[in-house]
Each structure stands twice: as C-alpha cells, then as structure tokens.
Structure 1
C-alpha cells in the first residue's frame, strides 16, 4: 500500500466520524444509519454495554429517541489502516445540550470498505466523565 492510499483511507474514515456527528446533530437518522455496514454494531457512549446490531436496528434506535438539540464535537482522531479494506480508529467526543452538563467520552471504531465506500463496521462509545 502506498502512502497516498493509506492517507486516502485515513481521510475517508475521519470524514465518517465528522459526518456522523453532523448528521446526528441535524437529526438526519437515515443518513446516520447509512454510514454503517448492513451488519454494523453501535453502542452509544451513554450505554456502552448496549450493542445495537444491524443498520435497520441502528436506524430504529435513533428514530425512537425524542427530538433534542445537541452538538457533538469530535477530536483527537487517530485512524490506523489495517489493510486496503479495513481500518480502526479512536476519537474523543464532547456532547453539548442546552441546560445539561457537557459529556466527554471516546469512540472506538472499526471501518470496512464495501463496494467502494468506507463504512462503520463497529462504533463503540464510552463516557470518561
């Protein structure tokens, strides 16, 4: 794998992290779910042991939540390319909501390339404080 190929994968995966935060804050649940592979796994930072499996179940979990105003900030993004079709990543997340204390946590991600698109295969969150 060339340096340019590795950088392109890192960029594609970091972009997924940013899109996830933006779509989440905009309430674009179908777009959030579309960032996952069909068999993707998600665990919210506020419920790290509750693994939601499959794109359809992930979409259902988002649409079942009441509407809310939020802003997610993702930083300290590090992507490690495992192969031309797999990568892992870690990022820090800060969640801000009106009239609530900020929440800080982490995401640990596994990415896969499917049909020319990079997707979340697994996105596991946890809270730091």
Structure 2
C-alpha cells in the first residue's frame, strides 16, 4: 500500500466519524444507520456493555430515544489502517444535550466526555463502521 492510499483511507474513515456526529445531531437516523455495515455493532458511551447489532436494531434504538437537541464535538481522531479493506480508530467526544423547547435555546445539562473505538470495513457502499464502541471517560 502506498502512502497516498493509506492517507486516503485515513481521510475517508476520519470523515465517516465526523459525518456520523453531524447526522446524529440532526436526528437523521436512517442516514446514521447507513454508515454501518449490515451487521454493524454499536455501544453507546453511556451503555458500553449493551451492544446493539445490525442496522434494523440500530435504527429501532435511535428512534426509541426521547427527542433532544445534541451537539457532538469530536477530536483526537487517530485512524490505523490495517489493510486495504479494514481500519480502526480512536476518537474523543464531548457531548452536549438539552431538551427540545418551543421557544428559545434549550438548556444543556453537564457535558459528557467519552471516547469511541471504531472498526471499519470497506464495502461496496464505501467505508462503513463494523463496530463503534463508546465509553465514558468521566462519571456524569
């Protein structure tokens, strides 16, 4: 693999992490779930021992959450290319959430600090999450 090929994979996976955060904050659940492989696995940072597996289960999980306003800040993304078809990554998140209000800005609770450990697979649709394992770094 050339350096350019490696950098292209790193960029594609980094973009996937950032795109996930944007879609998540916009509650575009079908598009979020489409970023996973068919059998993709996710654990939320607030529930690291409760894996959700498969696009159908992931979609149901997202739709079952109460509506909220959220903003994910993602940083310290480090992608490790394993080969032309697989990669992994580590990233940190800062999550602000608040209740939806009719008038004005929502009031955010205390932010959550966490991390994701991701695994990626190259599919016919492009790079997708095969695993997205979240964990909190500090107790709320």
**Normalised-by-shorter TM-score class:** over 0.9
How far residue 41 of structure 1 moved from its aligned partner, in angstroms, is: 0.2
**What is the TM-score of this pair, normalised by structure 1?**
0.98
Could you say what secondary structure the match of 2:66 adopts?
A: coil
- Tell me the TM-score normalized by structure 2: 0.90
Aligned pair partner of 2:127 in 114, 118, 124: 118
Q: If you compute each CA radius of gyration, which structure gives the higher value, 1 or 2?
A: 2
Post-superposition shift, 1:116? 5.2
The 5-angstrom pairing of residues 85-100 of structure 1 reads 85-97=85-97, 98-100=107-109
Give the secondary structure class of the aligned counterpart of 2:108: coil
CA distance in 2, matches of 1:34, 1:91: 20
Number of corresponding residues: 129
Q: Secondary structure, in 3 states, of the residue corresponding to 1:22?
A: helix
SS of the residue 2:50 aligns to: coil
Q: Which residue of 109, 113, 123 corresponds with 1:104?
A: 113
- For the 8 Å contact 2:96–2:108, the answer to whether it is kept is no
1:80 is matched with 80
Which consecutive residues of structure 1, in runs of 5 or more, have no partner in the other structure?
Answer: none
Query: For 2:18 and 2:93, how far apart are their aligned partners in 1?
Result: 11
Structure 2 unmatched ranges of 5 or more: 98-106
Q: How does 1:44-59 map to 2 (within 5 A)?
A: 44-59=44-59
Give how far 1:115 is off.
Answer: 1.1
Alignment RMSD, CA only? 0.8
Shift of 1:99: 3.0
Contact map agreement 2:39 2:54 (CA 8 A) in 1: yes
